[in-house]
Chain A
Amino acid sequence: DSGVTQTPKHLITATGQRVTLRCSPRSGDLSVYWYQQSLDQGLQFLIQYYNGEERAKGNILERFSAQQFPDLHSELNLSSLELGDSALYFCASSPSAGYYEQYFGPGTRLTVT
């Protein structure tokens, strides 16, 4: 158990819908990262938050957004969902903004039908 929690474990929704994925980092970790794992794209970094502020952006679509709250939990919002958004979404946390190993949550499996 990494100490990072993600909810829900599984999510099935229809195209065009909007969903929110939630992540709680390990106790004491200030950085939260979001990743998308799909069969065709592999594992891709989406976005990082550090102590409530957006720190870095990767391959995140404009339809996707995230935030980190004062209690350091984070939410990833996915809107106008398409079939291609079906993937495993991981959250990871680390103590600081970089140069630390990241501890991954169990992931949220999103299926868009």
Chain B
Amino acid sequence: AQTVTQSQPEMSVQEAETVTLSCTYDTSENNYYLFWYKQPPSRQMILVIRQEAYKQQNATENRFSVNFQKAAKSFSLKISDSQLGDTAMYFCVVEGFMMYSGGGADGLTFGKGTHLIIQP
């Protein structure tokens, strides 16, 4: 089974600051994908960034970047120049090999989330 641990239940920073959300995970798979999803107060689940485990280069998406340490099973999210609209719950997600029905499923595993608050 896969597990995802987000050790920061809540974080608060000032607008324009840089913030890093931490995530560690455990999986027995060799091939897997990692994602960060955000869930603003609207409750819509929105993809922020993705990382393929076989790629050594860290993914970036505008103000969002990750620090992927495969050996340490760590996958942190850095948000630069934070904006008020970044206020949301952020989920670290691991996707492993999906076994066929009857064989169990590791699939998409979510962490408990980090509630990020951007203060004006």
Interface residues in chain A, defined as those with a beta carbon under 8 Å from any beta carbon in chain B: 2, 33, 35, 42-45, 48, 54-58, 88, 90, 92, 97-104, 106-107
Contact = CB atoms under 8 A, between A and B. Distances in A.
B108 A102 contact: yes
A64 to B, nearest CB: 14
Interface stretch (B14-22, B80-88, B95-103): B95-103
Contacts of B91: 43
B78 interface: no
Interface string B31-42: 101010100000
24 contacts: A33-B108, A42-B113, A45-B108, A54-B101, A55-B98, A55-B100, A56-B98, A56-B105, A57-B101, A57-B102, A57-B104, A90-B45, A98-B97, A98-B98, A98-B107, A100-B33, A101-B33, A101-B47, A102-B47, A102-B108, A104-B37, A106-B43, A107-B43, A107-B45
A42 B101 contact: no
B45 A104 contact: yes
Given A42-B112, A45-B109, A48-B107, A56 B99 contact: yes
A111 B87 CA distance: 26
A55 B103 CA distance: 10
A2 B42 CA distance: 13
Contacts of A100: 33
B11 to A, nearest CB: 18
Interface of B is mostly: loop
B43 A55 contact: no
Given A48-B98, A57-B105, A102-B108, A88 B50 contact: no
Contacts of A103: 47
Given A56-B99, A106-B44, A45 B105 contact: yes
Contacts of B109: 45
Contacts of B31: 99
Contacts of A104: 37, 44-46
Contacts of A98: 95, 97-98, 107
A103 B35 CA distance: 12
